[in-house]
A and B are shown apart, each in its own frame.
Chain A
């Protein structure tokens, strides 16, 4: 079982209280009537399935019932970061590559969960 940090409850809760709700940061086309079928289909049905860092929408269903975002590594299931709706992730695929490069170069990396009091 995971302990997931809810950014609204400000504490770690059991995985059982949460539900995944798919990919995060999907912007609805501003003007649906002027949107091409391809763009609209892309928005409705097509989702990323990356190997590695993935940003997801989750809901604290048995708790504060707020939606929030989780950055997760799909290879290891490690939760890298949780952040509120409207915020931008600080851990991304690019930042992870840079951190790995730094680690190879001998720079001590302290990749821990962001936004969580230790």
Chain B
């Protein structure tokens, strides 16, 4: 009897994919901008759940990433990024198209263990703030203490962002990422454009992408 039904979110036919922020046009102040805002659209997001003891070896062998078991930590690697969300929950973000393959590889490696892997790619999107004033924009937007001294590179938290919520994480010295819900993406982007206006925020939209047809014909199958 099959334990899982797999669903490949990238269909066999080529279809146009829209980011939740597709309706925004580029905005830039023209002169020197102290903060840039970009959307990293169409990445594959997976939620991994399970006991750390169950997950840690499998994640290491399949993804080549060390499972972050300390609260508020983030691991960046070639395969993608893996972030601690709660003591038994992690967010894995990988390049578009890798999610389905990794989900299957993880499920097979975990076998009969007690775990759950859910593809949430359609439910959220990644926004990147980059520049010397990125932290100033964040300080206006969240109740969390994002002071660079208290918030080192490789830290990520889930907290309040404006009147919505976001996962806020620092991926570089002046590089911050926000993971926002699809339904709040419009609001969050408008908020960021407003908050960043005084720093001459520079926003370029992500391109609409046409999904290339998959080689494998079946996009839904079950394995035992």
Interface residues of A, Cβ cutoff 8 Å to B = 8-11, 13-14, 16-17, 62-66
What residues of chain B lie closer than 8 Å to A14, measured between beta carbons? 143-144, 159-160
CB distance from A53 to the nearest CB of B (A): 27
Interface residues of B, Cβ cutoff 8 Å to A = 71-72, 85-87, 89, 143-144, 157-160, 165
Question: Given A9-B72, A14-B143, do A65 and B160 touch, yes or no (CB 8 Å)?
Answer: no
Question: Given A14-B143, A16-B143, do A8 and B86 touch, yes or no (CB 8 Å)?
Answer: yes
> Beyond A10-B71, A13-B159, A66-B87: 11 further Cβ-contacts under 8 Å?
A8-B87, A14-B160, A17-B159, A62-B165, A63-B157, A63-B158, A64-B86, A64-B89, A64-B158, A65-B86, A66-B86
Majority secondary structure, A binding face: loop
What residues of chain A lie closer than 8 Å to B160, measured between beta carbons? 14, 16-17, 62
Separation of A10 and B159 alpha carbons in the complex (Å): 14
**Can you name the residue of chain A whose Cβ is closest to the Cβ of B87?**
A8
The interface centre, meaning the residue of A10, A16, A17, A62 with most chain B CB atoms within 10 A of its CB, is: A62
Separation of A64 and B157 alpha carbons in the complex (Å): 9
Separation of A8 and B89 alpha carbons in the complex (Å): 12
**Can you name the residue of chain B whose Cβ is closest to the Cβ of A14?**
B143
Separation of A16 and B211 alpha carbons in the complex (Å): 41
Asked whether A64 lies within 8 Å of B85 as measured between CB atoms, the reply is: yes
- Within the complex, which residue of A10, A11, A16, A62 is in contact with B158, where a contact is CB–CB below 8 Å? A62
Show 10 A/B contacts (Cβ-Cβ < 8 Å), sorted by A: A8-B87, A10-B71, A11-B71, A17-B160, A62-B158, A62-B160, A63-B86, A63-B159, A64-B85, A66-B87
**Can you name the residue of chain B whose Cβ is closest to the Cβ of A64?**
B86
CB distance from A112 to the nearest CB of B (A): 22
Separation of A9 and B144 alpha carbons in the complex (Å): 13
6 nearest A-B residue pairs (beta carbon): A64-B86, A14-B143, A10-B71, A9-B71, A62-B165, A63-B158
